[in-house]
Amino acid sequence: MACATPQAADPDTVRPRPGEPPLTQLSGPLRIFDSYQNALLSACQKIVSKPRATAGRRDAQGFDTRWRVGTEYCAWIYYTPDGKYVLSKLTDQTSVAATGQSKHCLIPSYVDDQRFPADSIKYIFVIHNHLYDDLLSDDDLSVTLKQGRHHGFEAATKDGRIQLSAIAFFANEVESPKCAGFYQYLPLTGQILKWSRTTRWECEQTHTVEWDADFAKPHLTEAKGFCFKDATP
């Protein structure tokens, strides 16, 4: 199987062997939760705590160096027939633009959870980290649209229908980083939301997304607004 790789130094993370193509599926489960909110918040802290997963604030000394050596990790949060929300294993397989000015984690499209039939898994959140507090990229938006076409743009769960969305976690500290928030893109509504963690979680809409006629390129418009009442977390 594509994800049957040797045990990595980090048991949470899988990657292809040298010379092999990118993984096409991720193994699961890594962690299991009763609520999607707990799944998201736990995943945020786990990912931003990984080696080189944050470059800190852009105006901090040494940011450029930390960005160049930084690593994006990505994974799925999915819903299973027993009513649980599951975090898959992580991967850090990465695509770097020819210019070297951008890089992103290559998320496999499928999860291999041997406990359940493949067609019973419902894909909910495409998650990854950004190296700093940075808006979702065109690549992030395009990947989310692709995954929605594979899996559907919403799923029925015990908590009602949940829209598939892309999540980009970030932290502001380099030493002992803590989840500071995340951006969320919801293709069905075309919204980008920003969740920020201070004394409590706060949410605001930052942009809306429209696509060109053949859905090849997203167009972002700054559009400040409130989050809908059922937004996460």
**Range of the structural domain that residue 117 is part of:** 24-225
Query: Do the strands 110-112 and 25-27 form a parallel or antiparallel pair, or are they unpaired?
Result: parallel
Lowest mean pLDDT among 94-98, 116-120, 129-133: 94-98
In angstroms, the first-to-last Cα distance of the chain is: 34
Extract the tokens encoding 138.
Answer: 């065109």
So what's the pLDDT on residue 4? 44
Mean pLDDT over 38-44 rounds to: 97
Mean pLDDT over 12-37 rounds to: 95
So what's the pLDDT on residue 6? 45
So what's the pLDDT on residue 103? 75
Structural domains of the chain, count: 1
5: in domain: no
- SS3 of residue 138 by DSSP: helix
Which of 125, 144, 150, 141 is closest to 210 using CA atoms?
A: 141
Q: What is the pTM of this model?
A: 0.92
So what's the pLDDT on residue 65? 94
Mean pLDDT over 36-52 rounds to: 97
13: in domain: no
So what's the pLDDT on residue 109? 97
231: in domain: no
19: in domain: no
- Please, what is the average pLDDT of the chain? 91
pLDDT in tens, 191-202: 999 999 887 899
120: in domain: yes
| Pair 75, 12: CB distance under 8 Å | no
So what's the pLDDT on residue 197? 87
Mean pLDDT over 75-84 rounds to: 98
205: in domain: yes
Tokens 């819903």 correspond to what residue? 79
72: in domain: yes
- Rg (C-alpha) for the chain, rounded Å, is 17
- SS3 of residue 202 by DSSP: strand
